[in-house]
């Protein structure tokens, strides 16, 4: 046999091996934020590249899909994009220190319910659920924040489930996984605290956690159960699958991917089936990447450096009050750096010469450019991760959700400064920008944090792929699940053990008291006889 024939045979064998090991994977990331959708795209693309068949249900269409084995089902729901349906400037104005968190719960849960309902009743998804020929080997879906009904796909196809959380390890998932609830040292992501909360902070955090747990039990999970019954019951009957309750579904999740690096979040104990994949979407800046020539020239020619300004994909900059708009433009006009501004209205009059507007910028590429000096951000976790990855100090202006906590943590670490939106003036902005750009401490801290963030024995993408294929290989991960997830609240907190202990202590005390009383009475009688 010639060498050419041997090489051809080996090649064909490798293709056969790849095909036989290929799995059918269903991915559902329905949260109406583009940032939530794009964080896990690299994982799905890489799994497709490795030969797995990917079916993705999403609200955001991808312009170019990677391979023929990647199928996308785009479902437009009544809440397609938070950017279009919510005014976060208005939400911020209504938020106080004591209603923050409480007002967000029902808002997001009702929205999540509507999103799942629209997805499950769509023709393509409904047909897939009721099809007797469709099968999947693994489900990857968003979960534990109002999307628990999606776990029913795992029960429908007898497939393991990997839940993904873009918010880290939260109160919404911890009881179902078996992670400890650390109200004294781990803040609820909706609260503007770090791990050092103080007495009132710990009280506030404990109160919100307690209310959240009660609301999950009384309000959220019953609605998720209703969705499961309405859209999966018939399919369960047709395929001779035993019905399952939502309380069991949430405890059967095999693995959870979280996006919260310890250096940016707060170190905490996690069960073995919780895997941190923070930085999954990040890559090094490459001058040959998809950055247009005009933008590259602006960045390259900025001798004094660039400042990048973006409040993410969900804060409508056009709705910003005129006072803050004016303050930003005047402050930008006073600094020598070029300023790249992600702004919805690119026709702003009296724009400073050093300011460049666009409706969209390749954020990671800008932050990775050698001339980037500072990043003005709303404090979304993906933006914070990109700043740290590229060693760029930040000026944080938080709005809602986990942003206040993220910015407080960044400020605590020395990565940057924080400004409240209502307190923004030309003077405060000018001082903060000059402080961040001219003070070496912020850039040095950013470099140190970047080194820690990148220092890992395995790249986040490789780690995520490994664990996906691990779950596929072992057909689940029951051996990694913590039994604590099956305990009710008084068992988990050992209140029943404490009650038994107190009862025993009381019984012992009662017996000792009776014996002592009897002894004293007998001694008294003897003394009287004498």
What is the per-residue DSSP string for 124-155? HHHHHHH-SS---SEEEEE-SSS-GGGGHHHH
The per-residue pLDDT for range 97-135, each reduced to its tens digit, is 556 666 667 777 888 888 999 999 999 999 999 998 999
The per-residue pLDDT for range 483-520, each reduced to its tens digit, is 999 988 888 888 899 999 999 999 999 999 989 888 88
Taking residue 463's Cβ as centre, other Cβ atoms within 10 Å add up to: 18
Q: What is the pLDDT of residue 77?
A: 82
Please check whether the domain covering 21-278+458-486 is classified as CATH 2.60.40.10: no
Mean pLDDT of 212-240: 93
Q: Give phi and psi for 265, each to the nearest 5.
A: -90, -135
Question: What is the token pair recorded at 236?
Answer: 């369960």
Burial 60-79 (b: 16+ CB within 10 A, else e): bebeebeeebbeebebebeb
Cβ 85 vs Cβ 101: under 8 Å? no
The per-residue pLDDT for range 263-321, each reduced to its tens digit, is 898 888 999 999 999 999 887 766 656 688 899 999 999 999 999 999 887 676 777 88
Q: What is the pLDDT of residue 350?
A: 76
Closest by alpha carbon to 382, among 13, 17, 35? Answer: 35
Confidence of residue 95 (pLDDT cuts 50, 70, 90): low
Closest by alpha carbon to 435, among 449, 451, 419? Answer: 419
For the segment(s) 293-454, the CATH number from 3.40.50.300, 3.90.1150.10, 3.40.50.2000, 3.30.56.10 is 3.40.50.2000
Treating both helix axes as pointing N-terminal to C-terminal, what angle do 221-238 and 123-130 enclose, rounded to 10 degrees? Answer: 60
* Cα 237 to Cα 415: distance, rounded to the nearest angstrom: 55
Name, in order, each residue with C-beta under 8 angstroms of 175's C-beta and a sequence gap of 6 or more: 181, 213, 485, 492
Mean pLDDT score of the chain: 87
The per-residue pLDDT for range 172-202, each reduced to its tens digit, is 899 999 999 999 999 998 888 998 899 999 9
* Cα 246 to Cα 254: distance, rounded to the nearest angstrom: 15
Cβ 261 vs Cβ 281: under 8 Å? no
In three-state secondary structure terms, 29 is coil
Question: What is the token pair recorded at 524?
Answer: 């008294």
Name, in order, each residue with C-beta under 8 angstroms of 504's C-beta and a sequence gap of 6 or more: none
Name, in order, each residue with C-beta under 8 angstroms of 189's C-beta and a sequence gap of 6 or more: 167, 168, 170, 401, 402, 405
Name, in order, each residue with C-beta under 8 angstroms of 277's C-beta and a sequence gap of 6 or more: 43, 257, 258, 259, 460, 461, 463, 464
pLDDT surpasses 50 at 6: no
């Amino acid at each position: 046999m010639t060498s050419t024939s041997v090489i051809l045979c080996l090649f064909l064998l490798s293709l056969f091996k790849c095909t036989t090991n290929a799995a059918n994977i269903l991915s559902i990331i329905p949260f109406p934020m583009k940032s939530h959708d794009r964080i896990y795209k690299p994982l799905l693309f890489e799994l497709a590249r490795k030969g797995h068949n990917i079916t993705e249900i999403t609200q955001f269409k991808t312009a170019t899909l990677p391979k023929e084995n990647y199928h996308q089902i785009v479902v437009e729901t009544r809440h397609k994009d938070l950017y279009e349906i919510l005014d976060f400037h208005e939400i911020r104005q209504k938020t106080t220190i004591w209603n923050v968190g409480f007002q967000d719960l029902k808002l997001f849960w009702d929205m999540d319910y509507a999103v799942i309902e629209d997805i499950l009743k769509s023709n393509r998804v409904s047909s897939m659920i009721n099809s007797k020929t469709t099968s999947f080997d693994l489900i990857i879906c968003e979960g534990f924040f109002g999307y628990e009904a999606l776990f029913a796909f795992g029960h429908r196809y007898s497939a393991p489930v990997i839940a993904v959380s873009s918010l880290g390890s939260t109160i919404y998932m911890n009881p179902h996984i078996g992670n400890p609830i650390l109200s004294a040292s781990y803040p609820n992501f909706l609260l503007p605290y770090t791990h050092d909360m103080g007495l009132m902070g710990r009280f506030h955090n404990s109160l919100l956690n307690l209310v959240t747990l009660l609301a999950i039990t009384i309000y959220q999970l019953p609605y998720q159960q209703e969705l499961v019954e309405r859209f999966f019951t018939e399919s369960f009957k047709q395929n001779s699958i035993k019905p399952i309750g939502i309380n069991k579904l949430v405890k059967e999740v095999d693995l959870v991917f979280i996006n919260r690096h310890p250096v940016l979040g707060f170190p905490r104990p996690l069960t073995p089936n919780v895997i941190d994949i923070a930085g999954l979407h990040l890559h090094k800046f490459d001058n040959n990447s998809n950055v247009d020539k005009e933008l590259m020239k602006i960045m390259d020619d900025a001798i004094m450096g660039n400042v990048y300004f973006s409040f993410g994909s969900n804060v409508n900059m056009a709705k910003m009050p005129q006072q803050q708009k004016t303050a930003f433009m005047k402050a930008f006009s006073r600094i020598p750096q070029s300023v790249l501004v992600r702004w919805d209205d690119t026709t702003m009059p009296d724009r400073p010469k050093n300011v460049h507007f666009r409706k969209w910028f390749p954020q990671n590429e800008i932050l990775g450019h050698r001339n980037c000096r500072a990043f003005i951000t709303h404090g979304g976790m993906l933006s914070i991760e990109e700043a740290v990855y590229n060693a760029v100090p930040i000026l944080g202006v938080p709005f809602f959700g986990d942003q206040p906590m993220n910015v407080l943590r960044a400020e605590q670490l020395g990565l940057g400064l924080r400004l409240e939106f209502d307190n923004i003036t030309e003077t405060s902005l000018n001082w903060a920008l000059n402080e961040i750009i001219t003070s070496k401490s912020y850039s040095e801290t950013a470099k140190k944090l970047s080194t820690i963030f990148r220092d890992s024995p395995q790249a986040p993408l490789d780690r995520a792929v490994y664990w996906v294929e691990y779950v596929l290989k072992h057909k689940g991960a029951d051996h990694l699940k913590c039994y604590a997830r099956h305990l009710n609240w008084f068992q988990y907190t050992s209140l029943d053990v404490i009650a038994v202990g107190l009862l025993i202590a009381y019984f012992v005390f009662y017996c000792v008291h009776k014996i002592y009383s009897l002894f004293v009475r007998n001694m008294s009688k003897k003394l009287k006889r004498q």
